Structure 1
Amino acid sequence: MSKKKDILKAALQLFTENGERATSTKSIASEAETSEALIFRHFGTKEKLLEEIIKNGYQESTKLISQFLHEENGLEYILKIVEVPRILVHAHPNFWKMQHKIIALNLLSQKHHDFFMKPCYDRLKIAFSELNYENPALEAKLLLIYIDGMWKHFASRQLDSKTETALTALVQQKYRAHN
């Protein structure tokens, strides 16, 4: 593994455990078994290091769900998007746990998350329109609020796997019943 990857891995681990503000470049260097100078050479600042982690996390997440959410049928898209929080958090738990800790206070983190979710909102509006919902845009917003809350609960490990599965199935059942 390259030193740059070691630094990214160590930083993600420490940001996840301690949050961005409580993590120093000195602690990252120690965890990565490298020097602070190398961190600054690769990333310039701690903020740019965090930005690289966020970009990488969302790129990986986009790859993961793009195949999963490539569904033409509106109802099937809705049913699948309800599963996204569980899929993402289980695939990259440290990234989503870190995001949960920093998103409220970090504009860059929020910006990347909003950009990541925008295509889902657009597709959900179409899906709800196809299913003749009275207000497709509001339905899309409501479902995204659910999704946002669920990934945060899953990332913070507030729910066990059985409850995560049951909640996902319950929401899916509600949308199936509407049809």
Structure 2
Amino acid sequence: MSKKKDILDAALKLFTENGARATSTKSIASEAETSEALIFKHFGTKEKLLEEIIKQGYQEATRLISNYLNNENGLEYILKIVEVPRILVDSHPDFWRMQHKIIALNLISQKYHDTFMKPCYEKLIVIFSKLKYENPTLEAELLLIYIDGMWKHFASQQLDSTTETALTKLVQQKYKTAQF
């Protein structure tokens, strides 16, 4: 295992536990069993280290979701995208817990998240238009608000798995039933 990866793993662990602002490079170095100098050599600053974690997390999420939603269109896409919050959080729980803690106050985190969600938003508008929804843009916005809220609830472990599953199935059923 490389020291750079050790640093990234240690930083993610500590950022998740304590938040990015409360985590020092000294504590990251200690957790990674390396020196602060090596952190600065690889990343320059703690902020750049955090950005690298965010960038890698969203790259992984993009690969995962692209494969999951690959050839889906219409109602199938809607039904599958409702499952995305659970899939993301299950695939990389520490990253999404960290994101949940920092996204409201971290512009870099917000930027990566917005960039990640934009293609879904655009595709949903097209799908809701084809399905003849009265206001496809608002419908897409509403569904993405649900998705955004659900990954945050899943990441913060506010819901038990039975409730998570029931909510996902309820939203899917609403879209299945809404078909003309």
TM-score (norm 2): 0.98
Residues 85-141 of structure 1, C-alpha deviations (whole Å, 9 max, x = no match):
000001100000000000000000000000000000000001101111001011000
Which position in structure 1 is the counterpart of 2:139?
Answer: 139
Which position in structure 1 is the counterpart of 2:24?
Answer: 24
1:128 and 2:123 are equivalent in the alignment: no
Q: Secondary structure at the match of 1:104?
A: coil
1:34 and 2:31 are equivalent in the alignment: no
Residues 58-95 of structure 1, C-alpha deviations (whole Å, 9 max, x = no match):
00000001011123431000000000000000110000
Q: Secondary structure at the match of 1:128?
A: helix
Matches within 5 A, 1:56-135: 56-135=56-135
Which position in structure 2 is the counterpart of 1:50?
Answer: 50
Runs of 4+ in 1 over 6 A off after TM superposition: none
1:153 and 2:156 are equivalent in the alignment: no
AA aligned to 2:138 is L
Number of matched residues? 179
Which position in structure 2 is the counterpart of 1:13?
Answer: 13
Gaps of 5+ in 1: none
The Cα RMSD (Å) is 0.6
AA aligned to 1:63 is R
Query: Cα distance, 1:158 vs. partner?
Result: 0.3
Identity of aligned residues (%): 81
Q: Distance in 1 between matches of 2:57 and 2:7?
A: 15
TM-score (norm 1): 0.99
AA aligned to 2:102 is I
Q: Distance in 2 between matches of 1:72 and 1:166?
A: 23
Q: Distance in 1 between matches of 2:9 and 2:156?
A: 19
AA aligned to 1:94 is D
Q: Secondary structure at the match of 2:21?
A: coil
Residues 11-57 of structure 1, C-alpha deviations (whole Å, 9 max, x = no match):
00000000000000000000000000000000000000000000000
